[in-house]
Structure 1
Amino acid sequence: MIFYGKQSIAQSDIDAVVEVLKSDFLTQGPAIEKFEKYVAEYCGVKYAVAVTNATSALHIACLAAGLGKGDVLWTSPITFTASANCGRYCDADVDFVDIDPSTYNMSVDELEKKLQKAAVKPKVVIPVHLAGQSCDMDKIYKLSQEYGFKVIEDASHAIGADYKSAKIGCCKYSDLAVFSFHPVKIVTTGEGGMVLTNDKELHEKVLLYRSHGITRDPKMMTRTADGPWYYQQIELGFNYRMTDMQAALGYSQMQKVDEFVSRRRYLAKRYDELLKNINNIHLPDQNEDTDSSWHLYVVRVDFSKINKTKQQIFAEMKDRGICLNLHYIPVHTQPYYQKQGFKDGDFPNSEKYYEEAFTLPLYYSLTDEQQDYIVKNLVEVLQ
């Protein structure tokens, strides 16, 4: 079976984890800081904080940005629900900005129009770098300066990607950024995530929220420490700490991140060539300022022009040993968010995307021969 995504684990990754298992620290040890430092240096950002997953990273990034009750978070409807749920975790309201029909990322034009009309401006905007391609962050950041909101990049798909010749995660055009290290992502720690920022105050808040809101820093305490054992809880925080085993795996994986991304870019370009003359398939567009990490390769099909449904396409491809997927179901159509007042038709570009889109297999170890097999069968199934 050819899955849509798959981790790539080498013996060096296994050895790195075993080394930690034989060490004195399984959690809160030196592997965490080593991993954080490497990712920060790779991205060209001052601070990086490793956490349990990208959802917890989004949560504490929002808390650090001051999001709370009475505030509003805006994000894209075409994302995993975590990009919106993090706002609800903070007791804030959530709203959406429709996508650009070309890149499938948050539309800057729609964002600007919504900002101009909104009676209540967002406290936080979360652009999502879908499939590994950056949003138009320069324009979004300029709007943030004009309208006074914080920008948190949901870069879960985008480690290794570039925007205007800088690495995603450098936070040049944002206050914070978030990575995911889930197994189907480009780099994995099993489960894991990271928050990045250039702001020292935001970094200190993220560290605090990661670990129960507890500090041992004398400068943050309300009274002098009773002894070396002493700590204080000064905020309501969480246990969002990554283990040293995960961090060791992440550090080892990061040694190959450029190799992983290079292979994905090669396979994406090869899909472009193999599919460019196939009727009724629209290939993913790329903004000239971006160089995607290609976490996903999403195609769109106008099902009104073929005699099969999307369900039939998925079933027939699976029968041939190929698992397709779909990223994503528009968040505003989920029952939970419809209870918040959203309804079908609110974001038409996102809903049209959902009707037409599906994700082809793409991962580091996918071979050229497997890719040829995928394309051959897809063409046959679509006929």
Structure 2
Amino acid sequence: MAQCVRTSLNPPKTLLRNPAKSSPVSSPLFHLPKSKKHPRISMSQQNQQELSLDSLINSTRKEEVLGAIKGSLSNCLWETNLLKTVPALKSKVRGKVRDIYDGGDYLVLVTTDRQSAFDKILASIPFKGQVLNETSLWWFDRTRHITQNAIVSAPDKNVTIAKKCSVFPVEFVVRGYVTGSTDTSLWTVYKNGVRNYCGNALPDGLVKSQKLPSNILTPTTKADDHDVPITPEEIVKSGLMTEADYCEASSKALSLFEYGQRVALEHGLILVDTKYEFGKGSDGSVLLIDEVHTPDSSRYWIAHSYEERIQKGLEPENVDKEFLRLWFKDHCNPYEDKVLPDAPEDLVCELAWRYIFLYETITKSKFELPLTEEPIHDRISRNVELALSSLR
């Protein structure tokens, strides 16, 4: 791998206190791995499926699955208690969306239907956990030419069994466009005057939803309450990662994103931004973990209408959870209010459909609605027990 780090003759003696508002360092510690600059190509010139918002809103497939979605509103997977049903499991860590169990030599990751945004749990979305798990598995399988991953098996629609590894406490956020509505989104910090973000110099004159000249990496620390933007220099100086590990992971993140953008565009979508997580295996290899290009970790727009809408000053048509974020921002202060309003049922059903729509559009596979006769928790317990028995 090409070296992406060089040591300055006079490196700074103190860390930058505010990476979002810091000025460019004249003698940087890092040369970030840059994504390739490609000529701007009209969306209509790409070999892509012509996808429209109408196909999302009025498709016969939507009517087909809405009944199942509404019928499962009271049967969402909000919480799991596999410690009571699977004796081989030792402990549990509850994340925002995933319940992670210690299975000895392996981790058992159960993707629930919990919906998070603004660092809070907002709702339960029918079939969401299955969509995220199966979407990630599809991408994990198709990105092996870029990086190794920690996946061992997937014994259930909501479950992945993975190798144990030492997780880097950094999220690798890759962005291709200036957009977003959260406090750490690129558009939010840019409109507030920031022109150097996580080590990336940003030109004046950008408008919301504009494509960046090249993809950029804006890492954040992994925190329980709120992710914090951080520069590459700070990552190494604070001991979060070594220079070599950061260079390898950041290079893989940019390559994964460029590949994801190509695949998405072939299917009529724009992969706008996403985040990756990596860990270090027992053999020292850097492994891709967690999730890949899901509607939870990524922002997707419909490609066919993008240029026309931008020229008219309109928001791109999105196929992710952004409209849920915007609803909460319109009805409360999601960062400061202690009690948030309940998401309306029609909003929950629409989000469930969008997640299924995105899965089917990307994978070209029909989403298999699970049988509702068996409680989800019983099914997961049975499948996890069988899978762990086969690994002993």
Shorter chain as denominator, the TM-score bin is under 0.3
Q: Could you tell me the TM-score, scaled by structure 1's length?
A: 0.26
Instruction: Compute the TM-score of the two structures, normalised by the length of structure 2.
Output: 0.26
More strand by share: 2
